[in-house]
Amino acid sequence: MPDEVEIKWLCDIKPEALAESLRMAPDAKTTADYHDLLNDPEVDAVSICTPNLMHLQPALDALAAGKHVLCEKPLAMNGHEARQIVAAEQKSDKVFQVGFQTRFTGEAQFLRKYIDSGAMGDIYYARTQALRRRGVPGWGVFIDKEKQGGGPLIDIGVHVLDLTLFLMGHPEPVSASGVTWNMLGKNPDLYNGWGDYDRTKFTVEDMAVGFIRFANGAVCVLESSFMANIKDDPFGTTILGTEAGAEIFFYNDQRVRIYRDDNKELFDLTPRSIPEVKTSHVAEVQAFVKTIKEGAPSLVTARQAMMLNSIFDALYKSAETGKEEAIQLV
Sheet strand arrangement including 68-71: 45-48, 68-71, 96-98
pLDDT confidence of residue 252: 64
**β-sheet bridge partners, residue 239:** 126, 246
**Terminus-to-terminus CA distance in the chain, angstroms?**
37
How is the chain split into domains, by residue range?
9-101+285-301, 106-277+308-326
Cα–Cα nearest to 36, from 63, 8, 75, 69: 8
Confidence band for 164, pLDDT divided at 50, 70 and 90: very high
pLDDT confidence of residue 119: 97
**What mean pLDDT value characterizes the chain?**
96
Percent of the chain at pLDDT exceeding 90: 97
What does the pLDDT look like over 266-303, one tens digit per residue? 999 999 989 999 899 999 999 999 999 999 999 999 99
Q: Is the pLDDT of residue 143 over 90?
A: yes
Q: How far is CA 256 from CA 107, 121, 236, 239, in A?
A: 7, 18, 10, 11
pTM (two decimals): 0.96
pLDDT confidence of residue 278: 87
In CATH terms, are 9-101+285-301 and 106-277+308-326 the same topology? no
Distance between CA atoms of residues 238 and 279, nearest Å: 22
Average pLDDT over residues 8-15: 96
User: DSSP code of 238?
Assistant: E
Is 21 in a helix, a strand, or coil? helix
Q: Is the pLDDT of residue 234 over 80?
A: yes
Average pLDDT over residues 174-203: 97
Q: List Cβ neighbours of 268 (8 Å cut-off, separation of 6 or more).
A: 257, 258, 259
Q: CATH homologous superfamily of domain 106-277+308-326?
A: Dihydrodipicolinate Reductase; domain 2 (3.30.360.10)
Q: List Cβ neighbours of 183 (8 Å cut-off, separation of 6 or more).
A: 206, 207
Q: Is the pLDDT of residue 182 over 80?
A: yes
3-state secondary structure 137-149: CCCCCCCCHHHHC
Rounded to 5 degrees, φ, ψ at 325 are -120, 145
Question: Lowest-pLDDT range, 88-97, 177-186, 195-204, 243-252?
Answer: 243-252
Confidence band for 304, pLDDT divided at 50, 70 and 90: very high
What does the pLDDT look like over 57-77, one tens digit per residue? 999 999 999 999 999 999 999
Confidence band for 212, pLDDT divided at 50, 70 and 90: very high
pLDDT confidence of residue 254: 62
Rounded to 5 degrees, φ, ψ at 297 are -65, 155
Amino acid (1-letter code) at residue 44: D
Q: Is the pLDDT of residue 255 over 90?
A: no
Q: CATH homologous superfamily of domain 9-101+285-301?
A: NAD(P)-binding Rossmann-like Domain (3.40.50.720)
Q: Is the pLDDT of residue 94 over 90?
A: yes
Q: Is the pLDDT of residue 251 over 80?
A: no
Q: How far is CA 184 from CA 228, 234, 258, in A?
A: 8, 19, 35
Confidence band for 8, pLDDT divided at 50, 70 and 90: very high
